[in-house]
Structure 1
Amino acid sequence: MQTIHRPINVQLLLLCALLLGVLFLAACPEEDPITGSSLIFEPVEFGTYEFDGQPRIEGPDRLFFGDVEVGQRVQRVATIRNVGRLALKFHEWTISAPFELEFPHFADGYPIELAPGASLTAVVSYTGQDNDGVQGTLSIMSNDEQNPRFDIGLFANLSLPCLVLEPAQRVDFGRTDRDATALRSVVATNCSPNSPTTFTVESLEGASEFYLMGERTPLRREIELNPGESIAIELAFAPRAPGDYQAELQISTSDAFSPERVIQLHGSGTPFGCPTAVIEAFHAQRGRVVADPNGTFEVVPLDRIQLSAAQSRDSDGEIVRVEWVLIERPEDTVVHFSQPGDSVNNGLYMELAGRYVVELHVWNARNTRSCQPARMVLEAVANKQFHIQLVWDTPNDQDRFDGSGTDLDLHLLHPRGRWNKGPHDCFWQNMRPDWGVAGDSSDDPSLDIDKVDGWGPENINLDKPENDTVYKVGVHYFSDHGYGASFATVRIFLGGELVSEVRRKRLADQQFWHMANIEWPAGRVVPIDATHATFP
């Protein structure tokens, strides 16, 4: 059995033991999630309403390897997601032999944390030993209180029925006007590689406002699906009055792994005279976008976006209360709103490239909440041909906002240069070198932030790379400032698209990591992953 444990912070445990012996009441602080903050740009203040939920793990319940010949090696991918509102922290990964587990995107071998809305790829391998059926389990222990042990079944050389329902547990119809009908569906798919699978919709119990649509999946009729085949179970919700409604859809199946399924149905009738939430987002260079109720605003990393709830409205009165909620942000950032969550005017800093999702709820004088939130999607997309991002975490640095931390430096090297030497290495001592055509800044790289006290980010941008050129990307651990080892994550965006990512490469003080080369104009990133005691 292969087991991967989360590393123990020895220094932190010794400190806690010492304090306990002296004071009799000390406690070990929790580790903060991996993130970054800016030195040049002041960190925004914390709001009070974001991320009030819990971590939630989501992934497949099983992986099928089909029929595997002796000596044949077959791989399957399990995508693990954090669909909650807090960081998901992994305590242990265990897999049954002869199955093997690896994480291709993690340089140090395994993940220990997953930000809200983020996902990771786990690769499970099986090498055929004989023709007998084999089954095992991949177990993931985490801080998800509702599901602290998440098991994924593993099957090889077995012909078994398999049914996947999407969504598997809950269908939410949201708020629906009286006398209107909302439609949703549950997709049933045969996930077996070699066996037919049957299922039956046994009952729909609860509020009569929910009912089945169509003739393909009626009640109490067995339906057979061939391997890979799918069918939609069509559902409808038609409320007759304001209020909340619930029902249960019960399904039986020949899938012995989980023969009885129950899906919760939720919906609500629109209250009389509920207010309307509207978000206005503004940036001086990017323009203005309104979400009424939905909107998408394409911005650039390091932008500061102004947000306003002033356009929200109520047909019978005024808006008396607002609530801003940040429901999604890129991995490795902990940015918050610039003002408290109940402020009419707010703001958000685009610290990293990626997707930020903001929701707004409003209340009127009758204390009626908006029927649905306004939702603004902020897509921070690099507007340069090269956008190279460095963030890092240091287990022994427990406070990222105290002005003290480790110093890692990002480097982009031109083929005519040497590491840590100007003018052809772009780094903190040469932040805006003159490359390409002399005096033409459009073909010059630039380092936007030199972060010297931990976490990052540091970004290097280059808009017009030279043809027939191979650029090198590296990271130098300039100083650990007594905090010990750090774990570096580098992402390379070309034309705004993420094309290469290596997460949590372990580095010690003064080490240099040659991460990758970028071949231009092919747009190809070649992994190097070479670590040196200092600059090579």
Structure 2
Amino acid sequence: MPVGACLRALPLIPALLLGGACGSDVQVNRLVPDVAVAPGALDFGRVTVGEEGILQLQVANAGTGPLSVHSIALEDAALSEAGVYVVTPPELEVPAGDSAAVVVSFAPDDYRVFSSAIQMQTNDPEAPLVVVPVQGEGVDGGPDIDVEPTGLDFGTVAVGDSATALFTVSNVGDAPLHIDRDSQQEGSGAFVLVTDPRGETITPGGSFAALVSYAPTTDAGDAGSLRLQSDDPDDPTVTVTFTGNGGATEEYPVAVIDAFSSAHPGQTLILDGTGSYDPNGNEPLTYAWSLVERPASSLASISNPSLAAPTITLDVSGGYVVSLQVQNTLGVASAVAVHSIEAQPEDSIYVELTWDADDADMDLHLVANDPESWFSRDDDCCWCNDNPDWGVAGDSRDDPLLAGDVSDGGGPETITIEDPAEGEYFVRVHYFQDNGAGTARATVRIYVAGELAGRYSQQLTHNQVWEVAYVRWPQGYVVEEGGDPYPSDERSCRI
């Protein structure tokens, strides 16, 4: 019987029996598991005594044979018996190329740090014991907001003049206090937050001084307020009131923003302010939109800030904040409404390059499987090969796509893959032309399944190559390469 026929006929016979049946010249590869665990450590941070925190470990098998994790247990049995740490399941079977989750809960019963480790016994001959450190701290309470004062009276202020006053937001708890960025201001538009606590994170024992300016446009008096929303479990909403020139009983125009709170980089959104109104019917309204915040590398702007429903294109991933103030036919302005938008990638792999020198020209490269295929037309997605056919021929879902080749202005350049084929994808940056800019800092963000998996920065000079990191798919691991930049021998794609 030919050797090939023997192997086809007896696919499940052990190697020893194959050798006896078909001759000693038969070579059979061993099926060996290869365990990988991420993250390498679990830190629950500060958890209130009596509450529970939950984290996960991903156990992947990058080998060719089945992986058996026949024991998953906490190193400190006493903590496990007390229910401080609970690890499930107690064992796992992971097929080759697959992964599974281990769920770890932390429920502290005392006000101290609990340190231990999760031990996994496996059939991986290279890693029979995997140890993952675990830590958490039991604390009393959580964030606790305190606002003083909760009312500001600006007294009498003449039209054309202005006055300022302060209120302080403090965190008297023992966990970080997060103030909601979309906390809304109401009432008169004559009150303006000069220093804005919205979107701030206040550390335990810390505080934020909020400065408010009052500039009346009439002498009829004004009233307004700010509803601060936070993650304080007991007082999630605290209202600060504003009064000027004796206050007012009239109703003010109201600015209303209707827009998505999340979107994808590159997406154009409509900012709909048509729901704004004047309760007294003094319309039509005039509109004044502003882009309050955008990511550091973004060049986004609002298309026509005086329209009722302008647009904005989210050019990079990250957070954006827009605001709207409307004015009625009597010249009375609303309080400023705010709305935050998070641009989150939808593709399985999303790589973004930006840089800090407007005159510099940097290029993003994504190389498939072989990192030596730098500037190879088939394997390198870059400016001279922006949409190569990878994976299954003719299937665009597993092909990379370079969105634009930006030659100045700091980027961004992005490469995305909707549904990558199995393999490794190497991220490279080439400082193609400096145009007199000299040394510049490049920043790369890598998103996997919509989540930021790595952010890396590096100073580069003209013609240097930076080997950033690689993504292993389908495991979704991102591994930083960490080498020093070096001069490039090539500057264009090989045919």
Structure with more relative contact order (C-alpha pairs < 8 Å, separation 6 or more): 1
Structure with larger Rg? 2
TM-score of the two chains, using structure 2 as the length reference: 0.50
TM-score of the two chains, using structure 1 as the length reference: 0.46
